[in-house]
Every structure is written in structure tokens, then in C-alpha cells.
Structure 1
Amino acid sequence: MPVAIVSIPVTDLDRARAFYVDTLGLALLRDAPMGPDMRWIQLQPKDGGATIALVTWFEQLRPGGQQGLMLGIDDVDAEHARLTALGLELPAVAEEPWGRYIMLTDPDGNGLILSQLTDPQEIRTR
């Protein structure tokens, strides 16, 4: 069964929405009231795939507690330059056999990895 939604715990829904939509470029699928004092904010990479829900209501999920969520990108160097131009302080692009990547955090400290993955066929032939 495929992954449908990954919950990202945040403190401020508006600030988190702005980061994920305006900075990272995810598409906003829904922003709707969900009971008293709650909202359902659901995002998706523009190319599709699993979605992200920004959550404030899970007691066990603490803002900043989501680490290692990997988002696939086509060109890590271009994305690094784009995000740096937007004012994000990022480490240099790193490289591993599985791909090239940059690590960053959202405004709440949730850790994200933007990765340009290596074709698994290429890894097997090395």
C-alpha cells in the first residue's frame, strides 16, 4: 500500500504553509477548517506523489520532531542556488552513492532532505 500522507508537526500553520508553498514550491491541495480552532492543510509536490499534512493536533508529534523527510528534486545545484537567493542559509551540496542532496530545516526545526537521486541501475554497475 502506498504512502498517502506524511504528517509534519508545526507550531504556526500560516508560517509553515508559507514556507512549504512559497519557499519550497509545494502545491496547496487544501486549506480548510477542521473542527474548532484547527485547519487541514494538505500539500503535494508539483509532480505528485504522497502528500504532506501540516499538523498541530497530535500531542505525540512535537514541532521539530519530524526528521529525514526526503523530497526528490531534479537539479540539486539549481535548487540550492534558488533557495540561497531566497535567503536560506544552506550547507554545501553533499554527495553519496545514492545521490546528491542538501539538508535544511523548516521554521519549526523539522529536518528535510532535498535530493537528486542517482539511478539505481547506475549504482549497481559501479
Structure 2
Amino acid sequence: MSISQIRTITAFVDDQDRAKDFYVDVLGFAVRSDLKMGDNRWLEVAPGDSGTAIVLHRPFPGTTAGTLSGVILDSADLEADAKKLREAGVTVDGPDEMPWGKQATFADPDGNNFVLSAPSRQLPE
């Protein structure tokens, strides 16, 4: 196998413009790509120069918006980021102290769930 990285993760959203506003204006992500392809739109956002991007895509047939879960976003200042999310009207659970550091959880407007993490120590092997 020659797999070297995860390039994109897809978050299904009902309204791509609303999702773009949230990811760019609230989370501070950059738009990496925003292409119209017929009836489809490829909207890719990422935090800074991160290698992995999130594609904000309308649900494929048989899927629904808000099904992404468990994506962990690292934060250099978890307390401040949780406060900014709350000030933007986002419901945030935590931050809570965990064996590996602190974390908080939140969801985007479509219900895609994220973990905001500030790791402070190595996980046991």
C-alpha cells in the first residue's frame, strides 16, 4: 500500500452557503476550493495549511446531512476557542479534563459533530 495521508473528509450539509459561513467565519477555516460542477458544488475548507480538508457537500442519495462524527480538531487555546464558539451561538460541551488533555465538543449547523482537543500528554501505547 502506498497511502500517505487522508486528503479530505466529507461533511454532508443541507445548505452549502450556510456551512461555508460557519466554517469560514466561526471556525476560521480557509476555502481551499469552491467549484460548480453541473448541479453539484465541490466546497472544500481547511484550517490554515492543514493537510486534511473537509468537503462540505450536499448529501448523496441515501444519506443525510449531519452524519459526520468524531473528527478531532486540535486547538492551541481550547478555553478561548470554546468561548468564541459560544459567543457565535454554538452549543459547546466542555472543556473537560480527560486523561490525554482537555476537550470540548460542538456541532456545525447541520449536526456534524466535532471534538475540539488540547492534548497535553501522550496516550499510553
Match for residue 9 of structure 2 among 6, 11, 17: 6
Q: Which runs of 5+ in 1 are unaligned?
A: none
Partner of 2:42: 40
Partner of 1:92: 94
Give the distance between the partners of 1:4 and 1:17, measured in 2 at CA: 19
1:26 has 2:29 as partner:
yes
Structure richer in strand, relative to its length: 2
Per-residue Cα deviation, 1:8-44 (whole angstroms, up to 9, x for no partner): 0111100111111111111111111022x21110111
Partner of 1:52: 54
Structure 1 residues 49, 61: closer, same or farther in 2, change over 3 A?
farther
Partner of 2:119: 117
Kept after mapping to 1: 8 A contact 2:9/2:53: yes
Aligned residues: 121
Opposite residue 116 of structure 2, the aligned amino acid is: L
RMSD (Å), alpha carbons: 1.5
TM, length-normalised to structure 2? 0.87
Compute the displacement of 1:84 (Å): 1.6
Compute the displacement of 1:89 (Å): 2.6
Compute the displacement of 1:69 (Å): 1.1
TM, length-normalised to structure 1? 0.87
Q: Which runs of 5+ in 2 are unaligned?
A: none
Compute the displacement of 1:117 (Å): 1.5
Kept after mapping to 1: 8 A contact 2:22/2:108: yes
Match for residue 17 of structure 1 among 20, 24, 36: 20
